[in-house]
Amino acid sequence: MPKKKRELGDLSVDPAVLDILSLARKEDYETVWDRLERQSPHCKFGTNGVCCRNCIMGPCRVTEKNPRGVCGADAATIVARNLIRALAAGAAAHSDHGRAVAVLFNEVARDENKEYQISDEAKLKAIAEKLNIDTSQDISSIAREVARMALEDFGKQDEAPLNFLKAYAPQKRKETWQKVEQILFSKTDKKMGILPRNIDREITECMHRTTMGVDNQALSILAQGVRTALADGWGGSLIATELQDVLFGTPDKKVIKANLGVLKEDQVNIIVHGHEPILSEQVVAAAMSPEMQEKAKQVGAKGINVAGICCTANEVLMRRGVPVAGNMIHQELAIMTGVVEAMVVDVQCIFPSLGPLAKCFHTRFISTSDRAAFPEAIHVQFDEHHAREVAQRIVEMAIDAYSERDPQKVHIPKEVEEAVVGFSVEEIIKILGGSPKPLVDAILAGKIKGVVGIVGCNNPKVKHDAFHISLTRELIKKDILVIGTGCWAIAAAKAGLMKIEAQSLAGEGLKEVCQALDIPPVLHMGSCVDCSRMLVLAGALADYLKVDISDLPLVGSAPEWMTEKAVSIGTYFVASGVPVHLWPMPPIGGSEEVVGILTEGIKELLGGYFFVEEDPVKTASLMEEIIMEKRKSF
Ligand code: XCC
Ligand code: SF4
52 is in an annotated binding site: yes
As for ligand 1, residues whose beta carbon falls within 6 Å of it are 310-311, 327-328, 349, 456-457, 486-487, 528, 563, 565
Q: How far apart are CA 175 and CA 183, in angstroms?
A: 12
Beta pairing class for 254-258 and 417-421: antiparallel
Query: Which ligand ends up closest to the CA of 72?
Result: 2
310 is in an annotated binding site: no
Query: Which ligand ends up closest to the CA of 52?
Result: 2
Best residue among 487, 534, 565, 582 to mutate for probing ligand 1, ranked by most atoms within 8 Å of CB: 487
User: Which CATH number does 75-248 carry?
Assistant: 1.20.1270.30
Secondary structure (3-state) at 581: strand
- Express each pLDDT in 116-148 by its tens digit: 999 999 999 999 999 999 999 999 999 999 999
- Express each pLDDT in 55-99 by its tens digit: 999 999 999 999 999 999 999 999 999 999 999 999 999 999 999
The answer to whether residue 4 scores a pLDDT higher than 70 is no
- Express each pLDDT in 473-485 by its tens digit: 999 999 999 999 9
60 is in an annotated binding site: yes
Q: How far apart are CA 162 and CA 406, in angstroms?
A: 54
Residue 308 CA to ligand 1 centre (angstroms): 13
The stretch 218-239 carries a mean pLDDT of 98
User: Which CATH number does 422-632 carry?
Assistant: 3.40.50.2030
Assess whether the C-beta atom of 584 lies below 6 angstroms from ligand 2: no
Residue 49 CA to ligand 1 centre (angstroms): 22
Residue 246 CA to ligand 2 centre (angstroms): 46
Question: 339: closest CA among 272, 286, 255, 412?
Answer: 412
To the nearest 10 degrees (0 to 180), the angle between helices 171-188 and 531-545 is: 100
Ligand 2: atom nearest CA of 53 is 6
Question: Would you tell me how many other CB atoms lie within 10 Å of the CB of residue 287?
Answer: 25
Using CA positions, which residue lies closest to atom 8 of ligand 1?
Answer: 310
- Express each pLDDT in 587-618 by its tens digit: 999 999 999 999 999 999 999 999 999 999 99
Work out the burial of residue 122: count CB atoms within 10 Å of its CB; fewer than 13 is exposed, 13-18 middle, 19 or more buried: exposed
51 is in an annotated binding site: yes
The pLDDT mean for the chain works out to 97
Question: Would you tell me how many other CB atoms lie within 10 Å of the CB of residue 419?
Answer: 29
Question: Would you tell me how many other CB atoms lie within 10 Å of the CB of residue 206?
Answer: 26
Query: Which ligand ends up closest to the CA of 526?
Result: 1
The answer to whether the beta carbons of residues 486 and 455 sit under 8 Å apart is yes
Question: What is the per-residue DSSP string for 158-195?
Answer: SSSPPHHHHHHS-HHHHHHHHHHHHHHHHHHSS----S
- Express each pLDDT in 501-553 by its tens digit: 999 999 999 999 999 999 999 999 999 999 999 999 999 999 999 999 999 99
The stretch 567-575 carries a mean pLDDT of 98
514 is in an annotated binding site: no
Assess whether the C-beta atom of 55 lies below 6 angstroms from ligand 2: yes
528 is in an annotated binding site: yes
Q: Which regions of the chain carry the CATH code 3.40.50.2030? A: 260-409, 422-632
User: Which CATH number does 260-409 carry?
Assistant: 3.40.50.2030
- DSSP state for residue 436 in the 8-state scheme: S
* Long-range residue pairs from 439-444, CB within 8 A, at least 24 positions apart, any chain: 439/541, 440/541, 440/544, 440/545, 442/509, 442/513, 443/553, 444/634
pLDDT of residue 634: 73
Residue 597 CA to ligand 2 centre (angstroms): 23
Work out the burial of residue 347: count CB atoms within 10 Å of its CB; fewer than 13 is exposed, 13-18 middle, 19 or more buried: buried
Ligand 2: atom nearest CA of 62 is 7
- Express each pLDDT in 151-163 by its tens digit: 999 999 999 999 9
Phi-psi region of 108 (alpha: psi -120 to 50; beta: other; left: phi over 0): alpha
Q: Which amino acid is at 221?
A: I
Best residue among 51, 55, 207 to mutate for probing ligand 2, ranked by most atoms within 8 Å of CB: 55
Reported ipTM: the value is 0.96
Q: Which regions of the chain carry the CATH code 1.20.1270.30? A: 75-248
531 is in an annotated binding site: no
Assess whether the C-beta atom of 73 lies below 6 angstroms from ligand 2: yes
Work out the burial of residue 14: count CB atoms within 10 Å of its CB; fewer than 13 is exposed, 13-18 middle, 19 or more buried: buried
Assess whether the C-beta atom of 76 lies below 6 angstroms from ligand 2: no
Query: Which ligand ends up closest to the CA of 311?
Result: 1
Using CA positions, which residue lies closest to atom 7 of ligand 2?
Answer: 69
Question: 348: closest CA among 237, 230, 267?
Answer: 237
Query: Which ligand ends up closest to the CA of 82?
Result: 2
The answer to whether the beta carbons of residues 539 and 533 sit under 8 Å apart is no
